[in-house]
Amino acid sequence: MKRWIAIVLVVLVVGGIIVYNKVLHPAPGAEGKPPGGGAKGGPGGARGGGMTSINGFVVVSKRLQEDIVSSGSLLAAEQVDIYPEISARITQLNIREGQPVAKGALLVKLFDADLRAQLQKLQAQADNARRTEERNKQLLDRGGISQQEYDIVTTNLRSSLADIELVKANLQRTEIRAPFSGVIGLRNVSSGAVVSPNTLIARLQQVTSLKLDFSIPEKYGPFVHNGSKILFLVDGANNPSQGIVYAIEPGVEEQTRNLRIRARVSNTSLQYRPGTFARVTLTVQNEQSLVVPTQAVIPQTRSNQVVVIKNGKAKFTDVKIGLRTEGTVQVLEGLSRGDTVATTGLLFLKPDSPVKIGGMITLPQSEAKVATN
């Protein structure tokens, strides 16, 4: 009996709870739509069909400037390592270390007594061959000798003259002269030393004008040409100096995909030395261009898009972009000056969806430089 009474009490308690939840206190919105007008957002939500509020930007024309910062090296305008052409003993050494020399100045004289003696011998033989040729010429004119005999004599004369020229060329190899005006470096030999073609005597450099080599990414190649100005800064200098681009490598380096560029730097005051590291800044563009904020561009698989606001509706437009800075993107095609583009809420916009512009943004005051190595 007690068992049945307990079961009845449990049933009454459970029934009371159900009646309380379902009848007396129903859940909000249980008999209709949820508050807010939809299951996935209220008015103005992603799928609520309301008007989306965004920030906009009016396309303007701005003088866009992008600087490339690269590492470079200063090189001598002309440089040559001085080696002898023959093996011989140094008889005269006219090298003053660290001093300027003029083009054609005699730097080193090697032993040449044997060559000069050989030259005198050949000159005597050539004189004799010349007199013989003159006598045989007279005999040939009178019919005293044949043409063949005369040809042998003239051949001997030409052979003697050729031997003389050979010895003179060998004598020139005993003299080492400066190929251009410059500054001679530290010498590695002394007078009286026996040198060979593998002996480095000194280095000659032209330092009143220097070359500056640096590289930039290949995509900036179209913006650089002969005559472009660069700025560079070396360690220990307070102010940058200027150089002028005068040569561009026709091909791109396969490993780095960089384009090698060479500029000319004036160094009349000898303030720079060849081999110095330089930090180069090259302005690749500085002209009026249409620009939009970076956040306004929507990257696509094969293109880029922006959302143009026209008559209160969103229009997705393909654009061709150019240079990028920290806060702006250059627009080459697809927009006109004065167009209004969306900069926020891009993920919630659909083609021809109604749009409300809540505010307008402006461009950043400064542009960042592009750093390359």
Which candidate, 82, 86, 89, 83, places its Cα nearest to that of 194? Answer: 89
Whether the pLDDT of residue 36 is over 50: the answer is no
Which candidate, 343, 95, 373, 321, places its Cα nearest to that of 214? Answer: 373
Task: Give the H/E segment covering residue 51.
Answer: none
Q: What is the CA radius of gyration of the chain?
A: 44
Q: How far apart are CA 222 and CA 200, in angstroms?
A: 43
CATH code 2.40.30.170 region(s) in the chain: 68-77+205-286
Whether the pLDDT of residue 113 is over 70: the answer is yes
CATH fold group of domain 54-63+287-371 = 2.40.420
Whether the pLDDT of residue 48 is over 60: the answer is no
141: which strand partners?
Answer: none
Q: Any idea which of 17-26, 232-241, 266-275, 320-329 has the lowest mean pLDDT?
A: 17-26
CATH code 1.10.287.470 region(s) in the chain: 87-195
Q: How far apart are CA 157 and CA 248, in angstroms?
A: 54
Whether the pLDDT of residue 289 is over 50: the answer is yes
Residue, of 48 and 225, whose pLDDT is higher: 225
Average pLDDT over every residue of 51-67? 85
CATH fold group of domain 68-77+205-286 = Elongation Factor Tu (Ef-tu); domain 3 (2.40.30)
Q: Any idea which of 5-14, 62-71, 255-264 has the lowest mean pLDDT?
A: 5-14
Task: Give the H/E segment covering residue 231.
Answer: strand 229-234
DSSP type of residue 354: B
CA distances from 11 to 5, 279, 291 (A): 10, 88, 75
* Cβ pair 280, 212 in contact under 8 A: yes
| Superfamily for domain range 87-195 | Helix hairpin bin (1.10.287.470)
pLDDT tens track for 168-218: 999 999 999 999 999 999 999 999 999 999 999 999 999 999 999 999 999
- For the chain, the first-to-last Cα distance in angstroms comes to 94
